[in-house]
């Protein structure tokens, strides 16, 4: 790490008002600690309880998404596999932003993009109906939570979810997903 690299990081974190950022292995114990840190640090900043709960819930869904579904995996000493990714919580003026970034297989680009778009296009009532119908149904083979996470994040967000998928190499693409919570959220 050179001075320039470190200082650039410092400047970027200041400019984008980054409250928390983590890039690495999203093992369950690590994400639990990060979740606690978010609760404690926002709790000290007179953030409304409803806002903090939403940020925490969205943070957990995004982190567990990385843990289970990131295409980049790391093994720990016990042989447990956890996903690798990036998660950033930032202060965007009138709202908070929780963003995640991780690799996905090129084979999943269409499916994941489609799921994100379907949730973005849905009305509040549609989202509620989708959530409750999926929760009643069988778990899809590729999912641990019946694909509920994305719908739940969309319901908790005060603005539409944003996503972008760009090619990374011949095997993988980089997937970004962001959720925004208004500081005055009810």
Name the residue among 112, 9, 122 with its Cα closest to residue 66: 112
**122/172 with CB nearer another protein:** 122
Does 37 participate in binding another protein (rule CB under 8 A)? Answer: no
Cβ-Cβ contacts under 8 Å for 172 (sequence gap 6 or more)? 71, 72, 103, 104, 105, 106
Q: Which stretch binds another protein (CB under 8 A): 11-19, 113-121, 147-155, 161-169?
A: 147-155
Task: Indicate the pairing of strand 18-25 with strand 81-91.
Answer: antiparallel
| Closest separation in Å from C-beta 94 to another protein | 21
Does 183 participate in binding another protein (rule CB under 8 A)? Answer: no
Cβ proximity of 127 and 161 under 8 Å: no
Q: What are phi and psi of 162, to 5 degrees?
A: -120, 140
**81/110 with CB nearer another protein:** 81
Radius of gyration in angstroms for the set of CA atoms belonging to the chain, rounded to a whole number: 17
Q: Which SS3 state, helix, strand or coil, does residue 182 take?
A: strand
Among 5, 124, 136, 166, binds another protein (CB under 8 A): 136
List Cα–Cα distances, 173 to 54, 79, 113, 155, in angstroms. Answer: 28, 26, 11, 26
What x/- string results for residues 9 through 28 when contact with another protein is judged by CB under 8 A?
A: -------------------x
Binding to another protein (CB under 8 A) within 59-118 occurs at 60-61, 64, 67
| Closest separation in Å from C-beta 5 to another protein | 34
**29/93 with CB nearer another protein:** 29
Cβ proximity of 148 and 131 under 8 Å: yes
Q: What is the SS3 string spanning 58-77?
A: HHHHHHHHHHHHCCCEEECC
Q: Which stretch binds another protein (CB under 8 A): 11-19, 112-120, 132-140, 174-182?
A: 132-140
**59/172 with CB nearer another protein:** 59
Residues of this chain that interact with another protein (CB under 8 A) are: 28, 32, 36, 49-50, 53, 56-57, 60-61, 64, 67, 128, 131-132, 135-136, 139, 144-146, 148-149, 151-152, 186
């Amino acid at each position: 790490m050179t001075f320039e690299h470190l200082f650039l990081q410092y400047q970027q974190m200041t400019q984008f008002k980054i409250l928390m950022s983590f890039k690495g292995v999203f093992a369950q114990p690590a994400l639990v600690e990060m979740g606690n840190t978010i609760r404690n640090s926002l709790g000290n900043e007179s953030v409304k309880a409803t806002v903090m709960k939403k940020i925490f819930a969205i943070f957990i869904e995004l982190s567990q998404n990385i843990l289970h579904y990131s295409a980049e995996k790391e093994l720990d000493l016990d042989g447990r596999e956890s996903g690798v990714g990036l998660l950033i919580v930032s202060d965007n003026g009138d709202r908070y932003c929780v963003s995640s970034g991780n690799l996905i297989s090129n084979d999943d680009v269409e499916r994941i993009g489609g799921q994100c778009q379907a949730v973005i296009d849905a009305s509040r009532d549609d989202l509620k109906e989708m959530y409750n119908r999926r929760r009643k149904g069988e778990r899809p083979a590729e999912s641990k939570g019946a694909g509920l996470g994305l719908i739940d994040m969309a319901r908790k967000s005060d603005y539409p979810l944003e996503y972008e998928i760009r090619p990374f190499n011949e095997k993988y693409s980089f997937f970004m997903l962001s959720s925004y919570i208004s500081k005055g959220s009810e």
